[in-house]
């Protein structure tokens, strides 16, 4: 159900969807537009992109963000000592 997304959830997704079109420091935009720290923003975004509600709301964006997250995690793991992959 789309009703399960809060206004804050929708604002976070909207910022992620629009970010490539914006210039400037993303952290400052997060603070001014959403009134939260970048750390909190990314924490909420991480939870949000795991939700089926967010996937239903904007499937292309959520899938792209999941791919980026997974790619970064794979690169981090590959740098760890003893990693066999």
Is 24 among the domain residues?
Answer: yes
Q: How far apart are CA 72 and CA 1, in angstroms?
A: 30
Range of the domain at 59: 2-77
Residue pair 12/43 in contact (Cβ under 8 Å)? The answer is no
Total of domains in the chain: 1
Is 25 among the domain residues?
Answer: yes
Rounded (10°) angle between helices 7-18 and 38-48: 100
Mean pLDDT of 39-47: 96
Question: Would you say the pTM of this structure is higher than 0.95?
Answer: no
Signed CA dihedral, 60, 65, 70, 71: sign only: positive
Q: How confident is the model at residue 78 (pLDDT cuts 50, 70, 90)?
A: confident
Q: In a 3-state reduction of DSSP, which class is residue 36?
A: coil
Is 46 among the domain residues?
Answer: yes
Mean pLDDT of 52-74: 93
């Amino acid at each position: 159900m789309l009703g399960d997304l809060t206004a804050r959830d929708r604002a976070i997704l909207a910022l992620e969807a629009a970010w490539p079109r914006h210039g400037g420091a993303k952290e400052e935009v997060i603070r001014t537009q959403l009134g939260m720290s970048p750390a909190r923003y990314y924490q909420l975004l991480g939870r949000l992109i795991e939700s089926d509600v967010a996937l239903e709301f904007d499937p292309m964006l959520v899938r792209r963000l999941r791919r980026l997250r997974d790619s970064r995690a794979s690169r981090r793991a590959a740098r760890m000592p003893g990693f066999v992959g």
